[in-house]
Amino acid sequence: MTGDTRSGAAGVRDRADLLARFMIMPAIVYIAAMIGFPFVLAILYSLSDATTGDPTLRLVGLRNYKDILADPVFRTSLKNTFVFALVSQSLVIVLSRVLATALMAEFRGKWIARFLIMLPWTAPISLGTIGWLWMFDSIFSPIDWILRRFGLLGVPGALLGPMQNLYWLGEPLLAMASVVIVHVWRLLPLATVIQLAGLSSIPKDLLEAAEVDGARAWRRTLEITIPLTLPIISIAFLFGLVFTFTDMTVVYVLTRGGPIHMTQVLSTWTFFKGIEGGDLAQGAAVSLFMFPVLAGIAALVLRVARRTEVV
Amino acid sequence: MARVELRNVTKLFGGVRAVDNVNLQTTEGEFLVLLGPSGCGKTTLLRMIAGIEPPTSGDIIINEQIVTHQPPRVRNIAMVFQSYALYPHMTVFKNIAFPLRTRGVAKAAIKEKVAWAAGMFGISSLLDRKPRELSGGERQRVALARAIVREPSVFLLDEPLSNLDAILRASAREELRQFQKRLGVTTVYVTHDQVEAMGLGDRIVVMNKGRVCQIGTPPEIYQWPADTFVATFVGSPPMNLIEQGELLIGFRPETLLPAVFVRDCGEMVTYPFEVTWIEYLGAERLVYGNIGEKCCSRHVVSRLPGNINLAIETGKTYPFTVARQDMRSFDRSTGLLIGRDPV
């Protein structure tokens, strides 16, 4: 049989696999150049004795890791990183569920409420944190002012003490609370949007069926809504955890890790040690310490998300 | 067992009257079918009986008690949704047990009841599966089992067979009717499928545009449709309607037969029938064509049973007759049936 083979055969332009490779290429190049290269460099640095003054690579094995593990500031930073991430994300998950549930209902001025809730996400984190810096000011804090107005502070016998100010960023516990508050403020909008998506993906039929089956609101929430949105809650939790783990802006702007390293986290300690202190090698080792932790968390939460997938 | 009564029930969605001043009453243990095209308000009506949707005005009475503003859980009703609404994260056992747990039934009793309900629908072997591992027919059975497990006094069904394939639907229809008879629970069943309505209902409520057009037994609805909407909605193909002065004359396709095949019993009307199209459906033939003088509404269908093997060709004209007792007359402007006597 003879025929025009050109019109019948699949040309290069018909090959979907080539197109797919072509379209994924920019992402791969980007990841390799912007993440892969610095990552490999960080591993090399962490195994060397490089400093900002002398960045030549002389490998010294695992000495840097041993040194940082022996450093009490590192151990405090590690603990703080976990405390900040877990406490703030637990609060974010609860509060975002409350907000998302409220936003599911129809009410007047819903769009303005939604806009206001989204606002912190649109502000640059450093600017937002500078705003909070003033809120937590040791003398001019408006929070303290409100507490004084309500008689909770600044008079003898007041609930929070007779002093005029709480010194938010000066007291270890309050400083930690301040960092957590700013993290919660910052990540609440994203988590709310994610939870809103989760809530609106539940078929209305299911909740109505539960209502007909005699379930009151609390049982519908506990037995239908929460189990069905668990995958998406884990996604929100993972996102928030990674954001909090890797963020250094909030601590750097608010407390610089103080008082006496009480709010130091791994990311700020990396910066202080590696850049400001000039010890590139130890800085790299500190920063790499977060990597297996984050990879582990990501794998774990994705596994949970897959297991609870229901449809 | 219970009686359901609706008094002047109206539901507005914005400015739209989804349900318009509906009055109806079931008898105890009755199988009542709400039939109508999509958007006629039948599902809204069912949701109001369930208590998921509050009526704008009017009253809903179950077991002599006004329940209009009471939540679903105190109405002692069970509902099967069109989508079945099985809880996807729970096993079949937990799905069926859910309505019992919300009522605080003891664990041992729950086990016993679930076993009873599952046995009733032949799904005892599926209790450990999740809904996504079930076929459409099995899901429907689980939904029914979940509905009957707490022995409700009223059973509400929203097109429960519409997601099944045609063969399964026929057998499911038969089973549904048998189990309803066995339990004797008052049932309100919503469908847009007139075959389902005719086959299942003790009585049928035909609805259109939020209003009730007719309430009656299947033969009443079929033989004596209250208006031209019911006449054309019930029956497939629908009732033929031809214009005759100020009237519309209606007769069912199976009553229009070739004159040579009809024994003269009573008064007959014969029309010249110009055949335009023939559909061969195996057990029957549908013969489309025009009768009478040329005017706007004279296109009719004749349904010939398979045992009439008369040769009929398109383009030709044959004499066809209808018995006068099978003819109905409707007012042309209102569409309402005139009298209950044959034309």
Model pLDDT, residue A156: 79
Residue B28 has pLDDT above 70, yes or no: yes
Residue B117 has pLDDT above 70, yes or no: yes
More confident residue, B166 or A28: A28
* Pair B217, B107 in one domain: yes
Nearest chain A Cα distance for residue B58, angstroms = 21
| Contact indicator for A168, A143 with CB cutoff of 8 Å | yes
Distance of CA A199 to the CA centre of its chain: 21
Confidence tier at A307 by pLDDT (50, 70, 90): low
* Pair B250, B209 in one domain: no
Residue A208 with chain B: CB contacts under 8 Å:
47, 50, 52, 81, 85
* Pair B157, B261 in one domain: no
Lowest mean pLDDT among A154-163, A197-206, B22-31: A154-163
Query: What are the phi and psi torsion angles at B298 (to 5°)?
Result: -140, 10
Query: What are the phi and psi torsion angles at B302 (to 5°)?
Result: -115, 135
Confidence tier at B293 by pLDDT (50, 70, 90): low
Tell me the mean pLDDT in the region B48-69: 92
Confidence tier at B341 by pLDDT (50, 70, 90): low
Model pLDDT, residue B343: 47
Is the minimum CB–CB distance between A308 and chain B shorter than 8 Å? Answer: yes
Nearest chain B Cα distance for residue A227, angstroms = 7
- The fraction of chain A above a pLDDT of 90, given in percent, is 16
Q: Is B122 helix (H, G, I), strand (E, B) or coil?
A: coil
* Pair B175, B259 in one domain: no
Last residue of a domain, which of B195, B223, B251?
Answer: B223
Tell me the mean pLDDT in the region A287-296: 84
Residue B103 with chain A: CB contacts under 8 Å:
214
Is the minimum CB–CB distance between A304 and chain B shorter than 8 Å? Answer: no
* Pair B219, B264 in one domain: no
- The fraction of chain B above a pLDDT of 90, given in percent, is 60
Model pLDDT, residue B5: 93
d(CA A231, CA A233): 5
Nearest CA in chain A to B132: A311
More confident residue, A191 or A53: A191
Nearest chain A Cα distance for residue B197, angstroms = 24
Nearest chain A Cα distance for residue B320, angstroms = 51
Question: For the segment A171-203, what is each residue's pLDDT rounded down to a tens digit?
Answer: 888 888 999 999 999 899 989 998 988 898 899
Domain interval for residue B84? 4-223
* Domain assignment of residue B198, yes or no: yes
* Pair B217, B313 in one domain: no
* Cβ pair B81:A210 closer than 8 A: no
Helix/strand/coil percent split, chain A, to 5: 70, 0, 25
Nearest CA in chain A to B79: A212
- Residue A159: count other Cβ atoms within 10 Å of its Cβ: 9
* Cβ pair B73:A211 closer than 8 A: yes
B80, B98, B156, B188: best mutation site toward chain A, by most A Cβ within 10 Å?
B98
Model pLDDT, residue A308: 59
Residue A223 with chain B: CB contacts under 8 Å:
87, 98
Q: Which residues of B touch A (CB under 8 A)?
A: 47, 50-52, 71-73, 77-79, 81-83, 85, 87-89, 98-99, 102-103, 130, 132, 146, 150
Between residues 167 and 226 of chain A, which touch chain B (CB distance below 8 Å)? 203, 205-206, 208-216, 219, 223-224
Domain count, chain B: 2
Q: Which residue among B88, B98, B146 sits closest to A311, beta carbon to beta carbon?
A: B88
Last residue of a domain, which of B223, B247, B279?
Answer: B223
Model pLDDT, residue A1: 45
Model pLDDT, residue A311: 45
- The fraction of chain A above a pLDDT of 70, given in percent, is 95
Question: For the segment B202-217, what is each residue's pLDDT rounded down to a tens digit?
Answer: 999 999 999 999 999 9
In CATH, what number is assigned to the domain containing residue B288? 2.40.50.140
Confidence tier at B295 by pLDDT (50, 70, 90): low
Q: Which residue among B52, B83, B88 sits closest to A211, beta carbon to beta carbon?
A: B52
Tell me the mean pLDDT in the region B99-113: 92
Last residue of a domain, which of B223, B249, B274?
Answer: B223
ipTM for the predicted complex comes to 0.83
- Residue A40: count other Cβ atoms within 10 Å of its Cβ: 11
More confident residue, A6 or B143: B143
Q: Which class for B26: exposed (0-12), middle (13-18), buried (19 or more C-beta within 10 A)?
A: buried
Model pLDDT, residue A2: 47
* Pair B44, B101 in one domain: yes
In CATH, what number is assigned to the domain containing residue B57? 3.40.50.300
* Cβ pair A227:B89 closer than 8 A: yes
Distance of CA A209 to the CA centre of its chain: 37
**What CATH number labels A63-307?**
1.10.3720.10
Question: For the segment A197-225, what is each residue's pLDDT rounded down to a tens digit?
Answer: 889 889 999 999 999 999 998 999 899 99
Nearest chain B Cα distance for residue A235, angstroms = 18
**A-B C-beta contacts closer than 8 Å:** 64
Q: CB neighbours of A235 closer than 8 A, spacing ≥ 6?
A: A194, A301, A305
d(CA B176, CA B34): 16
Between residues 228 and 257 of chain A, which touch chain B (CB distance below 8 Å)? 228
Tell me the mean pLDDT in the region A74-86: 90
Cis peptide before B219 (omega within 30 of 0): no
Q: H/E element holding A227? A: helix A226-246
Model pLDDT, residue B1: 65
* Pair B212, B108 in one domain: yes
